[in-house]
Structure formats: structure tokens, C-alpha cells
Structure 1
Amino acid sequence: MSAKRGKTDKLQDKLNEYIRVLKLAKKPGKDEYLKVAKISAIGILLIGSIGFFIYLGMGVLPQTMAGIGKGELSATFVNELNTSKSTQELTLRINNTDEESSTGQVHIQLTPVLCSVEKTNINVSSIDPGSSKNITIKVTDIEETSNVQANIWAENVASHDSLTTSLPLSAKQERAQTI
């Protein structure tokens, strides 16, 4: 038992010495707090930077940045399809509402519904910033339920740069839409 008692005394003595050293230890001063604050600030900035890079990787900011330097279109049929006439000329106005960038080549795909058009695919040269172009479309064989639908896209436009993402427009309902 005395051997066991001796080990316990040694542990007790070491623990008492450790507590005595802790009591004598200097309390942290202003310099130590500044060092801890600097390390904490660097850690927060590092974690924030990592979070920002993750945000960039999600695609929100890159999509916004991709739209910089690209034109912006709106389109409308100037006149509505008149079903009481058998032949009519429709005017499609395409505006580049961006004041800095041109649109690149503009593509128009027409889909006649119960009528005929001269051309179903029309290509228009680039529209300058702040400008517009009028496209004349000759429609024949018009019936009471006829309509002409247009899909419009351009090469240098942020949102609608292909047929699958094109701007849909109908000659029966005059409405402006933005690309």
C-alpha cells in the first residue's frame, strides 16, 4: 500500500505544482489580445474569401458578368394581323435598347399559322446601340384564325442567343418583350 500511496503523493505534488504555476502566470495583456484579434480577423477574411469563391462557382455572378458588353433587344409588331384581309404586310420593329453594345446578327424565324409568309427565316445585320430596324413581312392566304409567330435571337445578346432561348412574339397580340 505504501507504494501506491507514494504514487498518489507524487501525482498530488505535481498537480499542486501545476496549479501554483498557473496562479503565478501572467494574465494576458493588451498585446496578447491584439495578436488574438489579428489572427481572428485573418481567419474571418480567409473564410469569407473561400465563401466568395464558392459563390462565384455557383454561376450567379459569372452569368451577370457574361451580359456585360452585349446588346439588349426589344421587339414588337407595329401593326396587328388583320384577319379581314387576305394579304397584308406586317412590320416587325426590333430595337437595341443597350446604349453601348451592338446586337450582332439578328435572326428571325417566322411560323405562319393558317396563312403563308414569303420567308420563314430572316437574318438582319447587327443593330447599333440605341437604334432600331423595321422588318416588313408579307403575309398571304390569311384566314379568320390566322397568326404569325416570330422567334427572335441575336449573336451578341446576353439572354437569347439561340433558337431554343429566343424571344417569342405573336402578330395577333401586340406586345413588347425584352431579350
Structure 2
Amino acid sequence: MKSKPCIASLTVKTSHVLPPDTNTHGTLFGGTLMAHIDDVAAIAAYRHARQLVVTASTDSVDFLAPVKVGDTICVEAFVTWTSNTSMEVFVKAVTEDLRTGDRKVSATAFVTMVALDDNKQPIEVPEVFPESPEEKWLYDGAPQRAAYRKERLKRSKEMAVAFGTDYPWFRNDGRNFDE
């Protein structure tokens, strides 16, 4: 399997932010931005693997600047690192005020995608190699981020077992929650 440069997976999506996309503050819903992030990350991973992909995890999404109604949101993503069947995808969202041309990074995130074969089983992906200084910086930090994700997944599984599917804190004794 031939390795590929990071740039080969570059995916860019620009959308106009309209009133239905915004909250009562006139800014883009965080969940809508997260949907854009997941969509663009999936396309970048699919381009790299040339296989179906699923989202395995999303690292924290930090909202750095508001995206206002009437602005555009440009979401860029590319594969920064690969493991056996998974790919780390860096995503950056940039908002632009079309009247002034003012642009700000509104969010960044790392999304982990897993490639799947036709039977929906994980399948090996090509390695990726960085070329620019920025790509090399992201690539060099990826093993540490992967180790952190692995530990975070372990803790998430422990919480899932501890909390289970029931609501132990829910009392069903006929009392009103406001009492």
C-alpha cells in the first residue's frame, strides 16, 4: 500500500450562515458546526483511504470565535497521521465577514476515523506523510494525542459500565422534580 501526502486528502467546504442555522444570539449553533466538522473530516478520510469510514472519536472542539448570521464558515480538513485502520484528521473552521473580509479561526478539532471494508469491518489504511512545517508539527504530535485518546476511551468505557443503562439517580416515587 503506497503512502500518501497529507495534502492529498485536503477537503474544503464553505457555507453561508443563514438564520435557521443560528441560535438566539444570532450565531451558528455549535452542533451545526460540529456536523460540518464531522462531514468534512469524513470526506478527507475517505479520500485518503478510498474506503468507507466511520467516526471513532472527536477530540474537544474549541469554539474560538463566533460565527454570525450572514458570515461564511469555511471548514478545512486533512489526514495528519494514520495507525493500522484509523486516521487522525485535523479540522479547522474559519469564519469570514463577507462585507469586511475579516477572517477568524472559529474552531479547531481532531477527528479519528476508521476505514471499513465492504463487510463493515476495519481495514488497513495507507500511511500518510507530511510535507509542510505545519503538517510535520501535527504529524510529530500525533502519537501523544493517540495515547491520550486511548486513555480517554478506557475511562469512557469505565463510566459506561459504572452508569449502565438505568438512571439510578431517578426517583420514581410519584414526587414532582420541583419538590
TM-score bracket for the superposition, by shorter chain length: under 0.3
Larger radius of gyration: 1
TM value normalised by structure 2 = 0.25
Q: What TM-score does the superposition give when structure 1 sets the normalisation length?
A: 0.25
